Amino acid sequence: MDRTLADVADASDGRLLEIAEVTGTDGDSRRLREIGFCAGAPVRFIRRAPLGDPAMYELRGALLSLRRSEARRIRVHRAGA
């Protein structure tokens, strides 16, 4: 399995990714986990907003928008790679 870690902010295609961890221990990090960005969850990049930021991701059946600064906190690796 390809274990090279990167953040979800680097994703630019629709491949399925798996969340490795959400960095940080503050309230922001907890909130990201509460809305479903937990370790082990599959996530998929959908598209960027026309001005380049934020980006839309598919997570647990919902579409969510994250700014690059938040997406940087979400470390991912390719699912099943």
Q: Any idea what the Cα angle at residue 23 is, between residues 39 and 64, rounded to 5°?
A: 65
CB of 47 to other proteins, least distance (A): 6
CB of 45 to other proteins, least distance (A): 13
Could you tell me how many residues of this chain bind other proteins (CB under 8 A)?
34
CB of 29 to other proteins, least distance (A): 9
Distance from C-alpha of 8 to C-alpha of 41, rounded to nearest angstrom: 12
Site string for other proteins, 17-56 (x = CB under 8 A): ----------xx-xxxxxxx-xxxx----xx-xxxxxx-x
Q: Which among 66, 43, 63 is positioned nearest to 53, based on CA atoms?
A: 66
Contact 8, 64 (CB under 8 A): no
Q: What is the token pair recorded at 66?
A: 């994250």
Contacting positions for other proteins (CB under 8 A): 27-28, 30-36, 38-41, 46-47, 49-54, 56, 58-67, 69-70
